[in-house]
Structure 1
Amino acid sequence: MHMLQLSKRLQAVAELVGECSVAADVGTDHGYIPVYLVAAGKAQRAIAMDIREGPLSQAREHILQYGLEQAIEARLSDGCLGLKPREADVIVIAGMGGALMQRILMQGEEAAAAAEKLVLQPQSEIASFREFLLRQGYQITAEDMVREDGKYYPMMAAKFLGKDAYGTVRNAGKEDIADLFESRIACKFGPLLLEQRHPVLKQYLLSQQKQKQKIQKNLKANARQNVAARTEELSRELMDIERALEFFAGKESGL
């Protein structure tokens, strides 16, 4: 049987998982991630989880196709609710909206907090999702970003440190770390992506800058009263992009 070829996005998600004993994939869809992780020897066992029977039956087909039914369980579950604490050392939640992922982590907090690692790839509300992780006591331990079919996909690994972890960091005098993660710019674009000067993030920032400058120019050309608020909003967004781009010029102060 040939090795399963993942999309660029899912391959990057799998790379963030690394090696583990048991991986749980929440919202598994076709079961690509669990099949890949077990077939590649990155996970000894996996749990493919989905709230709907349809995607789960497709996942079962893929599991059988690769002869991995002894190592991968397909399980009907609403988010992490069907997962016991410490049943999986890595939990993957990828390809959903950030608000839905927040709900999944809140409802399945016991299992999520007990995991060694969470691998998360929100499709939307990314800035507020990063802020949510911080406020809930999770530390972002790694970040990556890929571009596929003209779209940009940021993703992250996180670990639960405890609800009081944020306060502890600040009180220990390590305010530079806390401030970096608290910063609106860091939450918007990714603290570790900025720190690494990630090339795909730079590509994204330059693309957004060009797009927003073009919109701003068109709005100014049609200088009507009712576009003033949108013009101001674009100016703020462009300022944020410029501040993020300073990292790539090596000007790290003022984040």
Structure 2
Amino acid sequence: MNVNSLSQRLYKVATYLPEGSHFADIGSDHAYLPCYVCLRDETARAVAGEVNQGPYESARNEVTLHSLQDRIDVRLGNGLEVLEKDEVNQVVIAGMGGPLIRDILEAGKKKLGTVQRIIAQPNIDSRSIRRWFLNNGYSLVDESILEESGHIYEILVAEQGDAGKPYDKQQIDKELWLGPYLLKQGGVTFRKKCQEEMDKKKYVLEQLKKASSVDPKKIEGLNNEIMWLKEVLDYDRN
């Protein structure tokens, strides 16, 4: 992967940034995403944040290679600490676990005043991010799912607004887990993810039933999740 051939997931993330973006890419690694966006949009500007020295140096080198130092500021620091208050309009956090992305957003809440859009691409546990959006006044406005190199990735896009809007109160737990938009869109990749989840949940349920002491709440929770997945897979089949 390089700035001219982004991974599919980063390319998809880039499509959610409006023209003229002034965005932060947190955990930017080689700064491929900011460079890609700024090379294609002369009005875009970015802050590339990186917590580790090695990737920080790589990001600086990449930015210098493309002569983008005047529009991409590479900073060493943890999460949203690299930002000044009200400095950017969009935040991208991609390629980390959902709980870590949630913790970064929570720790840096004071830096999000002018942030109109957050684009999150968790590697696992997207539910924790949806829940954070719901609890912090961010309305989920879009979701996408894709498979690349044997991994399935979800991308969540949220904006300040009515956080409850995309959810049906009757099935909010199901939608927080599987995604309100993804449930409507369906598709081959979403179905594959649901089938994989179903296999995992059934295995865990079997193991729990063999345990010497059974937690009825855990059993009930797993049965609910299996039922939701079955609904998705049966609906997709019809």
TM over 0.5: yes
Taking the aligned partners of 1:59 and 1:118, their CA distance within structure 2 comes to 21
The question of whether the paired residues in 2 share the 8 Å contact of 1:97 and 1:123 is answered with: yes
Tell me the SS of whatever aligns to 1:80: helix
The question of whether the paired residues in 1 share the 8 Å contact of 2:21 and 2:89 is answered with: yes
Letter of the structure 2 residue corresponding to residue 245 of structure 1: L
Task: Summarize the Cα distance change of 1:84–1:61 in structure 2 as closer, same or farther, 3 Å threshold.
Answer: same
Taking the aligned partners of 1:180 and 1:8, their CA distance within structure 2 comes to 33
The question of whether the paired residues in 2 share the 8 Å contact of 1:194 and 1:247 is answered with: no
Moved more, 24-33 or 41-50: 41-50
Aligned to 1:253: none
Q: Which runs of 5+ in 1 are unaligned?
A: 251-255
Give the one of 169, 175, 178 matched to 1:186: 175
Aligned to 1:5: 5
Taking the aligned partners of 2:13 and 2:107, their CA distance within structure 1 comes to 23
Tell me the SS of whatever aligns to 2:79: coil
Q: Percent identity among equivalent residues?
A: 28
Taking the aligned partners of 2:188 and 2:76, their CA distance within structure 1 comes to 38
Aligned to 1:239: 227
Give the one of 188, 191, 194 matched to 1:202: 191
Tell me the SS of whatever aligns to 2:68: coil
Letter of the structure 1 residue corresponding to residue 179 of structure 2: G
Task: Summarize the Cα distance change of 1:150–1:234 in structure 2 as closer, same or farther, 3 Å threshold.
Answer: farther
Tell me the SS of whatever aligns to 2:21: strand
Task: Summarize the Cα distance change of 1:19–1:200 in structure 2 as closer, same or farther, 3 Å threshold.
Answer: farther
Task: Summarize the Cα distance change of 1:35–1:227 in structure 2 as closer, same or farther, 3 Å threshold.
Answer: farther
Task: Summarize the Cα distance change of 1:216–1:159 in structure 2 as closer, same or farther, 3 Å threshold.
Answer: closer
Taking the aligned partners of 2:18 and 2:237, their CA distance within structure 1 comes to 31
Taking the aligned partners of 2:222 and 2:42, their CA distance within structure 1 comes to 44
CA distances 1:27-84 after superposition (whole Å, capped 9, x unpaired): 1111111011111228621111112222111001111222222221111232112212
Taking the aligned partners of 1:190 and 1:71, their CA distance within structure 2 comes to 35
Q: CA RMSD in A?
A: 3.0
Taking the aligned partners of 2:64 and 2:39, their CA distance within structure 1 comes to 12
Taking the aligned partners of 1:11 and 1:83, their CA distance within structure 2 comes to 24
Taking the aligned partners of 1:118 and 1:20, their CA distance within structure 2 comes to 15
The question of whether the paired residues in 1 share the 8 Å contact of 2:19 and 2:43 is answered with: yes
Aligned to 2:88: 88
TM-score of the superposed pair, with normalisation by structure 1: 0.78
Taking the aligned partners of 2:204 and 2:210, their CA distance within structure 1 comes to 13
Letter of the structure 1 residue corresponding to residue 230 of structure 2: E
The question of whether the paired residues in 1 share the 8 Å contact of 2:3 and 2:35 is answered with: no
Q: Which runs of 5+ in 2 are unaligned?
A: none
Task: Summarize the Cα distance change of 1:109–1:201 in structure 2 as closer, same or farther, 3 Å threshold.
Answer: same
After TM superposition, give the deviation of residue 182 of structure 1 in Å: 6.6
Tell me the SS of whatever aligns to 2:41: coil
TM-score of the superposed pair, with normalisation by structure 2: 0.83
Taking the aligned partners of 2:142 and 2:43, their CA distance within structure 1 comes to 19
The question of whether the paired residues in 2 share the 8 Å contact of 1:189 and 1:244 is answered with: no
Tell me the SS of whatever aligns to 1:20: coil
CA distances 1:103-130 after superposition (whole Å, capped 9, x unpaired): 2112211322421211111222321221
The question of whether the paired residues in 2 share the 8 Å contact of 1:143 and 1:192 is answered with: yes
**Number of aligned residues:** 234
Letter of the structure 1 residue corresponding to residue 31 of structure 2: G
Aligned to 1:22: 22
The question of whether the paired residues in 2 share the 8 Å contact of 1:123 and 1:153 is answered with: yes
